Structure 1
Amino acid sequence: MKLGRSPLLLSAGHLFLCLTAIWVLTTADLAAGQRPGCPAKCGDVDITFPFGIGDECALHSGFGLSCTTVNGTTKPYAGTIEVTKISVPESKAWLNTWVSSQCYFPSNGTNYLNAWLNLSDTPFWISEVDNAIIVIGCNTLAYMTSSSYVIGCSATCTDVTLENGLCSGAGCCQADVPKDISYYRGYFNENYNTTNIWQDSPCSYIVVMEKAAFSFNTSYVKSTVFYDTYQDTVPIALNWQIRPWSCEVARKNMSSYACISKDSECVDTTHGKEKGYRCNCSRGYKGNPYIMGGCQDIDECHANYNPCGIEICQNTPGNFSCSCRPGYYMTNGVCVPIQKRSRFRPMPVVGASIGLVVLVIVVACACLIQARRRLRKMKQTYFRQHGGLMLFNEMKSKEGNAFKIFTEEELQQGTNNFSEKQVLGHGGHGTVYKGLLRGYVEVAVKKCMTIDEQHKKEFGKEMVILSQINHKNIVKLLGCCLEVEVPMLVYEFVPNGTLFHLIHGNHGRSISLATRLRIAIESADALTYLHSSASTPILHGDVKSPNILLDGNHSAKVSDFGASIMAPTDESQFVTLVQGTCGYLDPEYMQTCYLTDKSDVYSFGVVLVELLTGKIPFNLDAPEKEKSLAMMFMSAMKENRLADILDDQVKGEDNMVILEEIAELAKHCLDMSGNNRPSMKEVTEKLDGLMKVIQHPWAPQDPEEMEGLLSEPMDNSAIGSAGFFSIEKKAINAMQSGR
């Protein structure tokens, strides 16, 4: 089966899973608030406003549920999915989604169920904090595909010991859910099937489910126990927001503004590039901020503990106050006994009080010093764990090296404590913040989410190699921070956005073919350097237009190679976690789990097609044959329909021969077999040769003459350099003959 194209065999009773609720926004919204006469419960589940049974009972149709009785049990549903819990304070909802499975039975062969969940155009998205991608099986490689990412992992039972509760590759593996995911679909790599091991392990599974609800059991890989335990479905936690508007915009239309309780507040949310908001009760209040009078004062004095200790507690709206019990008075916030007149002098009491205060101060200082020591020790442990000593000594020995090891405090100050306002972008590996370091140097700080054990051990060595990269078309790695659990990377700041934004940003500017070709050459040259000229070959692993930045002169700078890997040297470097961006990911890498330099060539081929066509690499809303730009392009090339898919800005008779040459090069880059793809060096030379033909004023203007100039035969298995030299040689001959 090729991913997303071959038909699936479904066992009886299995259906595709789809959430089809549409988040409809109209200009005639009903006023926010609990609707009278609407049920507050469906079965055992509390239906809390803004949710409601039926659109007329909900804040708007995005929160409308149905209450259905199935097999004698009444349950709430969103579309076809059962809702199990709603939390207004957390702005979360819990649903049951189906399990993706691959099972082999001798009677009817391999059966697949590829479940999917689509939350597009709804107020919901998958919580990256509460959920995980979990794969179960004895010989399984499975992926979660979304509109932006392809993430999966492999599980095996060979030469490993399976343990209950442990999901790290032995019978079970898991991966983090990327941020802001609204759609996913489960897939299995057919090269890792259960045909040969069905007697010991008949089924494999992939699910996106709540981490707290899952604990691996070794029986899951030996039978259908996992499927039977969860009764076809698993719990998943979703985030939700009220509207795709900020608080500032929402308050301008009070008729639809949702935070209507007196003691409530509006909180801005961010889902991808979309701004939204939700409502909370103010501090000291609890309840439902979406209904009139829904936020009630918390009586702190009658909580499980008395916040005033043994003193008198007085509840106040949103707060409380403490007063002294009879016989005591308050001084400096402390209740002390009222001294009766007596012949005894107060000095002993005063002395004891002073001694007590001194003792408290000493103990507090000791605790503070101890806490600081623990923090310093923890930072030192992380520093050594990430190879900091080796990296420090290496940097010290190389005079003039600008690479620096930053402290966590420096980066916190430079990014305003990693403020959301400083965010430049989110990715599958982490978040990038804009920073301003001492000396007013603008930088980009990448804060990664996770790092595997192998990279922790090799991190220092990799930093030594990456710090030596010096190429005008590669974003300079300025340094790193090692005293945190997951190291942070500091890059030079590139101000002019990404190639993706230049192509697809609807900015109204026309991008000439020469500009597109120049950016392609600069990007290809950077990848050639990483593959061939760096002290240790480096595989980028995530080549895409969002990772090609543009400086003030619109020169390309390849970024995000800090998440790359050094070129594998033996089979022991087989990866258990497959990551990449949907539309750019090399299909051979997905099948073999081996990342090679030809994987980068494939991804660069997609970027070339992107430059030629102006289309996005993966469009979830397009017809099936047009979802993948690479597949659509290869089909057009095969049917000689290149002109139909070219960007109107570059299409023209004068450019057609050059465009066909670039398209032919992209076709070779996108070959399904890595062995048949050219190297990045050959790609760079080919593009450079085409640029020279465009730039020379003596280049023939007649399309037939241009075609003759570029008609040198090309080896289909790989693009050699002979073709480039013949182009230049013919051009020189043409100039000498006065053409």
Structure 2
Amino acid sequence: MYIFRASLTIGGAANPVNRQTKMGSWPAHLFLLLLCLVLLAGAAALQTAPPLSVDSADRWVRPGCQSKCGNVSIPYPFGIDSGCSRPGFEINCTDGTPYLGLGGNIDMVDIQLFQGTLVVNNYIAKDCYYQNGSQSDFILPSISIIGLPNYKFSSDRNRFVAIGCDAHGYIVSNDEENTFRTGCSSYFTNASFMPNGTCSGIGCCTTPIPKDLRSFSLLVDSFNNHSNCSFALCSYAFLADVGKLNFTLSSFTEYSNRVNEPLTLDWAIMNQTCEQANGTRDFACVSPNSDCWNSNNGPGYLCNCSQGFHGNPYLNDSNGCSDINECLADTSPCAKRCHNREGSYSCSCPWYMYGDGRRDGSGCTSILRILYVSLGVGLSLFFLIATGSWLYWIYKKRKLGELKQHFFEKNGGSLRPDIRLFSSEELEAASDNYNQSRILGEGGAGTVYRGVLPNQNVIAIKKAKISNDEAEVQQFINEVEVLSSINHRNVVKLLGCCLESQVPMLVYEFVPNGTLAHHVHDEGHRGSLSLDARLRISSEVAGALSYLHSAASTPVIHRDVKTTNILLDHNLTAKVSDFGASRMVPLDQNGLVSLVRGTFGYLDPEYFQTGEFTDKSDVYSFGVVLVELLTGKKPVAKTQAVKNLATLFIDCVNSGRLVEILEERVVDEGTPELLEAAAELAMRCLSLKSNDRPLMREVAIELEALTRWKKHPWGNVDLEEGDSLLAKVGISSPSVLRDYVNSSMEPMVPFEIVR
């Protein structure tokens, strides 16, 4: 077994982890030099110092000091002659070979100023066995560095290495206070097992060393005296920089002739941190624009130039940290214009170019080029967009036409009703695209809008709600067919329809004076209608319903008679509207069965119970309307104990309290006989059984008679106390009045039918 001892006492610093900056200012002569160069070169930025990549350590020494020993540069704080180095960094140059310390025996290969490292040659321990049984150990001198605390072995870059086919090596600390022992083994018999180019454990093994290592001993021997591997007769052990180690099978032969292997040492300014040393007289970072970095391999610190500067941070002269002129023509990072600044630079482009100006960025691009490219791209895009838009417009127009045709046929266009067909565009324009301010009213079936045609005629547009129910569309078709054949002065006139939209739309004449409910119930209008107007309106409504029930080619049941569906024009002439719930009833049927439709308060009780509606269902609803006109009350009361107006009215009439429920103006303007006759007619319309209700034709005739009776000259007959108008004309009761009306008014037709 061969033992190799190398005793070191060294202290160091390596990779920086903490930073403390010490700033300064340029020397005056450098500033003047820069100013002169700028004036001579115009707007171009010129060199003030060589770039970092071409820094030469040959001049980074104190004035008058030797800068090299052999091929190794010696930058300050290292030095050869007296006064040329910082204490602890002396170099002995003998026969062109630099050695650590004044009397040191470790020869140096390289000093790396900014990394805080230096490379030295380290001896290799060997243990060889030969086939004749002889053993050869190479006895090497012991290496010891005493009194140089600024150095230590680099634990980051160095590894203990053992090489051999049956090698076993150890590294042992010689420091009595900090003892450690570690090593590795390598054993193999087939050379093909060993990979080339790596020290992976087969033929060559490594193990790390601890931080702050200053001395060590090496031990190497063989397990079987190399008897199983004739190709490797020696074992080797050494401490080396593994970054420089390239191990192959030929290394067994090469290491037999080699004496040493490169080893890396850390060095630093001992034994303070940047925070402790900054501001003291012995602080090493004396150059302006230099920074201080704490070592991560024990106590100590290193110096380096700030970003944008280069030079020797340990010198406070022209060789210290100076500005890097990044704008040199060969190394400029700018594509066109470079502007050097102290510790920095900026790039720009000429006025006719754009970009960030950097070589590693977008550089500078001609505006003309981008204009040409943009123009070409723009024209291409415009052509594509224009062509695409034109094709899309044609496609949409075609699809819209197909969709309109589909809706037209779906909504009954094949029937071709004898009314005007409006286009969807016409109605959109007339209603200002169905503006909310144009809404006249809303209901369950749809919304009514006020429209103005180009000829300034005002119309009402009823737009149905979107529905996928085919039955609803069929009902709409029926409604169009019925209303297109009706021209009654008390029915809202259907002017036309639109069948090409998703939902069918009806166009009616515009009735400007609102609904009957508005004049009877709304605040400010209660009591505004005279008794004459009320009787006339009720007579007109009854006449319209009688026409729908009896005179239309196919009878129509409205099914939603109420004061909100009765419109008034400028002359307060009644117009029955909203036929959305209406149904046509064949002449051979008395009624139809359907889901209950109508408005609470107006709904026929018998229809509600059986689901079968007849023309008598409209009679009941009209009876409620007649009671509204007589009483001025709403069909459903919110404060009465009895909420249903029909029930309340019947109760008052049966109990002799008719005057109590009638509206005050009605009582003031009507005679008891007339009011009794109107109330009796309403009572018959509100009968719970439909068979007990009169026909709408009979109701219309009686109301026409009451209206004429109210205006008859008999109304001016002088009455004696206790006499009544009915008695004067020979009518003793409402029933007699009804018989009188039937006999005297039979030939009269209170409405006209226009085919």
Return the TM-score normalized by structure 1: 0.48
Return the TM-score normalized by structure 2: 0.47
Greater RCO (Cα-Cα under 8 Å, separation 6 or more): 2
